[in-house]
Structure formats: C-alpha cells, structure tokens
C-alpha cells in the first residue's frame, strides 16, 4: 500500500476513502519548502491545495512519487511539464467547486452593484449612509463573460434570471452553442467597450496573464465594473487600481490576486472595490466534493486504471466500450516486448471492429505502458509513455478498421519480428490472447508464460513439458496452435512461477524447436 503525504487541509471524507483502501495517509500541514523536500522522499502520493509548491526541486528529491493530487482546479503551484517528464501523474478535481465558484461570482456581482460590504461596514461602525452607497440594478445591464467554460456557463445561466443581456468572449465556443445559451459572442475589445459588468472565467497561463491591462481598460465605458473569481494575475491589478481612481471604470470585485495571501494592495484603499480572500471554493459542499474526487483519482492511479482527471495524460477519456480493453492492451505490450527481447524499433497497433470507431489514444498509451514496463527499467506510466517513445526512438504506427473477421473487436500489436493479438470475451469481458506470430491461440494473459514455436511433428509437447517439470514448475494452462502454412506449430503456456533461463535455453536447443521465449504478460506483484 502507498504512503500518501497530505500537506494541506482536505475533507476527512476523502482521506477516509484512502485509509479504507489500506493506504497510509500521512498528514503534515504547514511544511516549509525544506521540510517538504524531506517528507516527499518516501511518498508515493501527494495531496495539496493551492499553497504547496510542487517545483522541479521537489520532484527531483524523490524517486517514489507517482501522483500529485490537487484538491481543486488550478495548477499554478505545480510544475506540470516537469512532473510529466518525471512520469508523475498530476490530477485535479475540476468539477468539485464549479457551483460554489459560480455562486460566489454572483455574490460578488451583487455586492459590487449594491455596495453591500461597504454599507455593512459603515453601519456596524455607527454610520447610517443611505445616499452614499446608492447602487445600480442588474436588470437590463450588459454582462460580459470572459470564458464560457463550466463556471462561466453557470454564471451566464444565472445572470439571465436577473434580466441581463449577455455577451461573451471565448474563441473555443461556437456561435451555435453560444446562441443556445442566450449569449452573443464578440471580440474581447468589443466586449470591454460594450459591457456594464465583466466577469472573468479563464485559467491562468502565458496567454491570459495580464490579459486585462491598461490599454484594454481604456476602451471601457465609465460604468464598467469587473468581477474576478477565477485566477489572480489575469488582471493587471495596478492598472485596475489606476482605472478606478481616475474614473475610467466604476469599480471591481475580486476574490483572487496576483500573489496570495494578499494583505496589502492599492485596490484595498478604494471604496468602490469589494474583495474576499479566495473564497470561491470555500463551501462545505465544494470541499467535500474535492476531497472525495481527489481520493478517487489517487485510488485509480495506484490501481493502474484510467484516471479521468489526470491533466498530463495525452488522451481523451476512455469510453464505456473501450475501457474494458485497457488491461489487454497493456498485457499485449508486455507480451510483445518480452518476445522481442526488449524495446522494438517499431510498434504497430491495429484496432479492428467496433473498438476502432472509439477514441483509441488511451488504448495505445496502455500498450506503450506495457512495452516500456517490460523493456526498460525506467518508471513508466500513462503520463510519460509517449515521451519515452520519442526519447528512445520508438516509432508508433496506429491503424484502424471497422470490421473484424474472427472477433467482435481485436487489438493487434506488431514489431518487426513478432505479432500478438488479443480481445475480451464473455459477459465479464475477460482478456484473451488469441494470436501469436500468425498462430491462432486462446489463453488468458498470465504473469509467467512460455512461448514455443516448433516443427509440427509429434513429441514436441512432451519434450517441453518434461523440461518444465524438471525445473519444478507447474503448468497452469496451455494453448496449442494447429499447423499453419509453413509447417510449424506454436505452444503458449501459462506457468505458476518464472521459468529459469537455463530451462528456456534447454528447450530452445532441442532439435525441431524454432524458438522458446519466456514472456511476462501481467504485472509481477
């Protein structure tokens, strides 16, 4: 079982899931960067929120780390590219706080429109200032939504109930989709010039950092009020403060800042600015969802299963029809690498039948994972398998065909020397190897297997069985292929333990044996 280091407050409901699965949950809050380097050395999992910085130095200080889980959406504090290079999976909980973030955006919108925090502060300090804190209605005003992702879409949906006119900037959303949402798409400059309120819903990256700047704000009308509950740094905060001070725009409401925690800012001195300390995800419901989601992602990662919220796995989510094939794809990769005696120079992956009509990228990753798991000593995962292929010069070719002659769906892996094919069968979707080097067979993948190709003459099974028995090894199952056109036959044998290399060599040296190869097909526990 894995040791999972938790460095920030996570909902107990999620941590309990990890404990129930038998993992060691080690809670170490408030670690300094130096202390983190020491604690991470033996951790296989790391769960964080936004404060812990997972840097190159942190990732270089451990060889055991397999997965970093961010209980939330943003990953500004994780060096994702370097984690990918190291084969460390990075997962987040992208849907855990979308409702909370959308609702907080609306709370900021209303607070900014009606000066609620300012009026509250004045009243509790003994000042009855009705005329000073006069606000504006939302009805009939133009709301500009910058980013129509999940949160932006929820905000837009709720703003319609206030009778607002919605415009949006999002280059990845079609006109047709926007129209169905009741939103008019336009360019960013046009939106800034048109809107009475603007709400930001973008990730922070090179393209969005400083996106709302002095030049853009200069195009706004004086009634504009800006809301940001997404990521700090998207707005140039100094430029925003200047624009409010000189009357270029009317005000702002911010939940996020360029650096956090933020306790001093020129924005804090302005009466038309509403601020909260990054509370967008701070609801009981969102924290519970984030804790449960991140625990579920780590459990899948440690089990070697598909992890839907892995941000650095270059594949779409496996469909319900293709997901059962992940295991056989990885087993076939291990099998082929064992047969090839290491890493092949070319890997051909062919999909036949209905499975070929799905997105097969994750299945190919599974096959690559199997190949590298058997052919190299490098740590390998869905994360770094494509990078390893590129670095090692492994050419990957993928072909698909909607029809399959002998099976409903079939996956075939080929190197220059060998071929292996597999499928799943029955109601339970059990994996089967069904062809090896042109010979039809049917046998479940096993941890220890032996493949023997021989002249199709009597006595060969007996010779092979005798040598296996002399090594004190039991045969679990066996498939013998009929002769094919070249007069050879094939045996694929499952063994209860690893066969010594000298026994394999003894079989290979027997007259009439074309080759004998020990094969690993499943993960060795």
Rounded to 10°, the helix 361-375/326-340 angle is 40
**Phi–psi pair at 49, nearest 5 degrees:** -120, -120
**Collapsed DSSP state (helix, strand, coil) of residue 13:** helix
Contacts for 460 with CB less than 8 Å, ≥ 6 apart: 452, 454, 489, 491, 510, 512, 513
CB 359 within 8 A of CB 320: no
Round to whole Å and give the CA distance between 71 and 13. 13
Contacts for 210 with CB less than 8 Å, ≥ 6 apart: 233, 234, 235, 236
Round to whole Å and give the CA distance between 129 and 380. 65
CB 217 within 8 A of CB 245: no
CB 106 within 8 A of CB 151: no
Round to whole Å and give the CA distance between 300 and 212. 39
Which are the catalytic amino acids? 231, 260, 278
Round to whole Å and give the CA distance between 178 and 200. 17
């Amino acid at each position: 079982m894995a040791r999972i280091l938790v460095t920030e407050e996570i909902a107990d409901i999620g941590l309990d899931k990890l404990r129930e699965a038998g993992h060691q949950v080690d809670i170490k809050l408030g670690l300094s960067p130096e202390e983190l380097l020491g604690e991470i050395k033996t951790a296989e999992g790391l769960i964080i929120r936004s404060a812990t910085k997972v840097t190159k130095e942190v990732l270089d200080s451990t060889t055991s780390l397999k997965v970093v889980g961010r209980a939330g959406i943003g990953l500004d504090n994780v060096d994702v590219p370097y984690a990918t290079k190291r084969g460390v999976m990075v997962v987040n909980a992208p849907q855990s706080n979308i409702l909370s973030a959308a609702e907080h955006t609306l709370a900021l919108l209303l607070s900014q429109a009606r000066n609620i925090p300012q009026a509250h502060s004045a009243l509790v300090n003994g000042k009855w200032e009705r005329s000073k804190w006069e606000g504006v209605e939302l009805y009939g005003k133009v709301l500009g939504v910058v980013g129509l992702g999940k949160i932006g879409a929820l905000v837009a949906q709720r703003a319609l109930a206030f009778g607002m006119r919605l415009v949006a900037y999002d280059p990845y959303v079609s006109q047709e989709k926007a129209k169905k949402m009741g939103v008019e798409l336009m360019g960013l400059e046009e939106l800034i010039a048109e809107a009475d309120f603007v709400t930001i819903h973008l990730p922070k990256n090179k393209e969005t950092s400083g996106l709302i700047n002095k030049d853009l704000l200069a195009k706004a009308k004086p009634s504009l009020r800006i809301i940001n509950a997404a990521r700090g740094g998207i707005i140039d905060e100094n430029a925003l403060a200047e624009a409010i001070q000189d009357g270029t725009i009317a005000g702002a409401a911010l939940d996020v800042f360029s650096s956090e925690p933020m306790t001093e800012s020129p924005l804090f001195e302005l009466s038309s600015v509403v601020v909260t300390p990054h509370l967008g995800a701070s609801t009981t419901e969102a924290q519970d969802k984030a804790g449960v989601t991140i625990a579920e992602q780590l459990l899948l990662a440690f089990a070697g299963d598909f992890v839907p919220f892995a941000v650095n796995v270059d594949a779409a989510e496996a469909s319900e029809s293709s997901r059962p094939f992940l295991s056989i794809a990885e087993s076939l990769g291990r099998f082929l690498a064992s047969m090839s005696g290491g890493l092949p120079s070319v890997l051909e992956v062919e999909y036949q039948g209905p499975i070929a009509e799905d997105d097969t990228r994750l299945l190919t990753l599974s096959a690559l994972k199997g190949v590298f798991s058997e052919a190299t000593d490098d740590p390998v995962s869905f994360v770094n398998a494509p990078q390893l292929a590129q670095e090692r010069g492994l050419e990957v070719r993928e072909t698909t065909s909607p029809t399959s002659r002998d099976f409903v769906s079939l996956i075939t892996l080929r190197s220059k020397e060998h071929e292996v094919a597999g499928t799943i069968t029955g109601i339970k979707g059990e994996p089967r190897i069904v062809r090896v080097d042109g010979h039809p067979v049917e046998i479940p993948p096993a941890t220890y297997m032996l493949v023997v190709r021989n002249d199709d003459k009597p006595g060969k099974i007996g010779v092979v069985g005798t040598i296996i028995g002399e090594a004190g090894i039991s045969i679990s199952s066996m498939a013998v292929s009929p002769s094919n056109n070249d007069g050879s036959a094939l045996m694929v044998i499952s063994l209860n333990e690893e066969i010594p290399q000298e026994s394999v060599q003894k079989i290979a040296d027997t007259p009439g044996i074309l080759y004998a190869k020990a094969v690993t097909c499943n993960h060795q526990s």
